[in-house]
Structure 1
Amino acid sequence: MINRKAVRMSPDEKVFQFLDALLPDAESMRFVESRSPCVADADIGMPSLRVLKAPVDGNLAYLTIKAASPLVTMVDPALLRILYRSLRDDALASDPDALNDLGWLWINGRRVPFDSVLARRLFKLAYVLGSGEAAFNLGEQAWYGRGMCVNQDLAASYYEQAYERGVTCAAQALGRLHEKGMDGQAPDFAKATHWYRLAAGAAFASGEKCYGF
């Protein structure tokens, strides 16, 4: 007799079993030559932050950079499949960076067919696992209404959480929201200035480029 208690899955295991069924396997994955025609020209959102070791004066230092998945520029189908398999495996192992990067590819129709529903699910999983970039991307999806109704309040909430998680570009997005006025409200130039100053200060300090603009 089967011990049902012993084989019962945790909620997390169920989520990732569901994700395993949602994500196409590498062998059946269909890659596209360029952007999906149903997506606007401009990318939205941002890929995950990458932390690399680099030699500085003979010592190793950590550098944080924003780097898109190689799936964006790779053209060899065999290499694309290998790279996708690696990202998929990492995503199923609860890696928030891999989950976010796969979502970023699908929300922009980059090398994969556009799928806003799957992208949102991936972003939400990465967000729950602590990804600041995923919070930013959920804000972008709500702001641009890509695959959903535009929701500026929701966008602002996600952008604020992204900023709290270290994604300084979210400050620029919040400045834009308050400058234009949220959901029919009058512009709030004081709040816009506050967020723009935070964005400018962070960009000056790090020399980073903001994504999504």
Structure 2
Amino acid sequence: MSPDEKVFKFLDALLPSAECVRFVERRLPCVVDIDIGMPSLRVPRLRVDGLLPSMIGIVVNPLATLNDPSLLSCLYKHLRDDALASDPDAINDLGWLWINGSRLSFDNVLARRLLRLAYVLGSGEAAFNLGEQAWHGRGMAVNHDLAACYYEHAYERGISCAGRALGRLYETRAKGHAPDFEQAAYWYRQAAESALFEG
């Protein structure tokens, strides 16, 4: 059995089946417990006819908005199947669900494992989510140096909002570190330029 096969066999044992997973009622995040990171699935994978491409982007993420347990179970099953087929986006989305606890109960250890696997498989969103986990200390000690490293990797992988996160990080810095306004300005400019090219 190859190392890759072992990883996904372990992942199969680690991820509960759709029949066994329990969804929690959508909670409204409080200021201290706000949802962090970003899922890869930004629009439903549905055929959209007759819409302009710019209109497709305004469809709200189903991971954050679905309330029907049967639809959530169906979506989870598809994500799990795709994750076991080594899809980094699906692995990231499962990690995102567990790190926020908005649809599944919090499990920061499982979330970190999933996000790290998605990151190794090349997911820019997973790099951003790992940065968010380090920045907010979700399931780990706050580590701004680690957050900066992951945010930079996310930015290099095309996640422009990681530039804003880096600007925020350098502007506010942790206790004991002076703000670096030059680096903050640099990253805010990078994020703004990336946004112009995306729009």
TM-score scaled by structure 1? Answer: 0.82
The alignment covers a number of residue pairs equal to 197
Q: 1:92 to 1:36 in 2, by over 3 A?
A: farther
Q: Give the partner amino acid of 2:169.
A: L
2:102 is the alignment partner of 1:110: yes
2:166 is the alignment partner of 1:166: no
Return the alpha-carbon distance in structure 2 between the equivalents of residues 66 and 21 of structure 1: 36
TM-score scaled by structure 2? Answer: 0.87
**Native 8 Å contact 1:39 1:109 kept in 2:** no
Return the alpha-carbon distance in structure 1 between the equivalents of residues 49 and 127 of structure 2: 31
Of Structure 1 and Structure 2, which has the larger fraction of its residues in helix?
Answer: 2
Write the mapping of 1:39-188 to structure 2, written as runs, cut at 5 A.
40-48=32-40, 50=42, 65=57, 70-182=62-174, 184-188=176-180
Q: Give the partner amino acid of 1:85.
A: K
List alignment gaps of at least 5 residues for structure 2. none
Q: CA deviation at 1:70?
A: 2.1
Question: Cα RMSD (Å) of the superposition?
Answer: 2.9
Q: CA deviation at 1:73?
A: 2.0
Q: Radius of gyration: which is bigger?
A: 1
Of Structure 1 and Structure 2, which has the larger fraction of its residues in strand?
Answer: 1
Return the alpha-carbon distance in structure 2 between the equivalents of residues 172 and 36 of structure 1: 24
Return the alpha-carbon distance in structure 2 between the equivalents of residues 49 and 33 of structure 1: 20
**Native 8 Å contact 2:41 2:61 kept in 1:** no
Return the alpha-carbon distance in structure 2 between the equivalents of residues 25 and 122 of structure 1: 15
**Residue of 179, 183, 186 corresponding to 1:191:** 183
Q: 1:199 to 1:193 in 2, by over 3 A?
A: same
Identity among equivalent pairs (%): 68
List alignment gaps of at least 5 residues for structure 1. 1-8, 208-213
